[in-house]
Amino acid sequence: MTTDPPSRRGLFLAAGAAGAAGAALAPARPAAAQQQQEGERGALQLRPTPRPYPAPTAEQSLRMANLLEIEEAASRIIPEGAFAYIASGADNEWTLHENRRAFDRYPIRPHYLSGPAGLDLRTTLLGQELSMPILTAPMGAHGLAHASAEVGTARGTGEAGTLMTIGTAANRTIEDIAKATPGPKWFQIYLMDDAGRSRELLQRAKAAGCSAIVFTIDAFAPGASDRVARLGFSFPPNLPLVNSGTAVFKRSLTWDDVAFIQRTVDLPLVLKGVLTADVARAAIERGVAAIQVSNHGGRQLDGVPAALDALPPIAEAVAGRVPVIMDSGIRRGTDVFKALALGADAVALGRPVLYGLALGGWMGVKSVYDHIRQELTRTMTIAGARTVKDVQRNFLF
């Protein structure tokens, strides 16, 4: 068992090193039991995963130079297998890396000498006012990162004045997560074989105050990560997926499933995982309220293009009829700026939110948002854009 403090390189914890308080919250899995379990699975066990769940950090503000380097700091406190699960991509991780490389292909075209600044980062998405065009992507099992799990993420996201997407695969109930933020929240659904269970979740989400449903279309079969396979990681039994329980997720999806959700719950539907203009067009014809361009952070189908590269033709096909959200690879204010310039109305953050959570609980999540907000502010100020809507294609070469 270890309470390793995070790396000091580039990241400073405002309240000193990570506290050990959380270590007592959950017992470590006995090493012998763990080895036996892993032996039974027959996985190639290169390194053990000795750290306890949840990760032992206090709630604290983080100071950081950028969101890229908190990954390394988080790798020192999140148990090794869980960290691999969070950080890795599918197969060769080509798509995972493309998600980052793509931002290098679009140089910013500044508009100097274009008059007074007066910056406004606020935006409205499906009727919800956000303090910035950046929101929290749906992710499963936040308990892998911090004891407060999705409750911490929701609070940190809300304190930053932006939107929380609650995932089906959460470690806390939809109701508890929703209560943790007075701010806007959406619910992401993985449909289940049992339509009754899906119906129940959709209705609970609405009752808990979620104002839209996000339907993820790219994860009906699990992606596979070599890093995870090497470590023989599996979800720890003390972090159950409390909303879906033991239900079996649907293994094939069609447009009928979109219609099922629309029939079941009277909320706008966001289609997440869109990578082609034809799907975006068909979605709008079927009354979908927003498109989320995403490749699941490179975790599902390795070989699909970077989400940023997929964005321009989709934005063109959508032509402003519904909002376009983009996620996968966003780490910098300049990344947000480029996504906006290529047609996104907002972007969603994935892994950096979990790293902030791991390093500082809800305050860590807020720190991640505070930091990227500062970067976006600086980028827009120097580039000469005053509002989110100002940022159009003419801000790129």
Strand partners, 62: 13
Q: Is 296 a catalytic residue?
A: yes
296 sits near ligand FMN (criterion: CB under 6 A): yes
Cα–Cα nearest to 276, from 319, 238, 307: 307
Q: Which residue of 183, 323, 329, 364 would you call a contact of ligand FMN, by CB under 6 A?
A: 329
Cα–Cα nearest to 234, from 68, 384, 40, 100: 40
350 sits near ligand FMN (criterion: CB under 6 A): yes
Give, as ranges, the residues between 10 and 69 that touch ligand FMN (CB under 6 A).
none
Q: Whose Cβ is closer to ligand FMN: residue 289's or residue 390's? A: 289
167 sits near ligand FMN (criterion: CB under 6 A): yes
Q: Which residue is nearest to ligand FMN (CB)?
A: 350
Alpha carbons 389 and 246: distance in angstroms, whole number:
44
CB 22 within 8 A of CB 54: yes
Q: Output b/e per residue, 230-266; b: 16+ Cβ within 10 A.
A: bbbbebbeebebbbbeebebbeebeeebbebbbebbe
Q: Which stretch, 59-67, 105-113, 260-268, 322-330, contacts ligand FMN (CB under 6 A)?
A: 322-330
81 sits near ligand FMN (criterion: CB under 6 A): no
Q: Which residue of 54, 138, 183, 361 would you call a contact of ligand FMN, by CB under 6 A?
A: 138
Question: Whole-number minimum distance, CB 24 to ligand FMN, in Å?
Answer: 25
216 sits near ligand FMN (criterion: CB under 6 A): yes
Cα–Cα nearest to 77, from 23, 155, 29, 151: 23
Q: Which residue of 74, 288, 349, 385 would you call a contact of ligand FMN, by CB under 6 A?
A: 349
Q: Which stretch, 57-65, 248-256, 274-282, 294-302, contacts ligand FMN (CB under 6 A)?
A: 294-302
Question: Whole-number minimum distance, CB 115 to ligand FMN, in Å?
Answer: 34
140 sits near ligand FMN (criterion: CB under 6 A): yes
Distances in Å between the Cα of 76 and the Cα atoms of 7, 94, 353, 364 are 7, 24, 16, 15
Torsion of CA 306, 308, 314, 319, to 10 degrees: 180
143 sits near ligand FMN (criterion: CB under 6 A): no
Given 142, 146, 296, 371, the catalytic residue: 296
Question: Whole-number minimum distance, CB 133 to ligand FMN, in Å?
Answer: 15
DSSP character at residue 330: -
Alpha carbons 197 and 260: distance in angstroms, whole number:
13
- Give residues in contact with ligand FMN (CB under 6 A): 86, 99, 137-140, 167, 169, 188, 216, 272, 294, 296-297, 299, 327-330, 349-351
Active site residues: 296
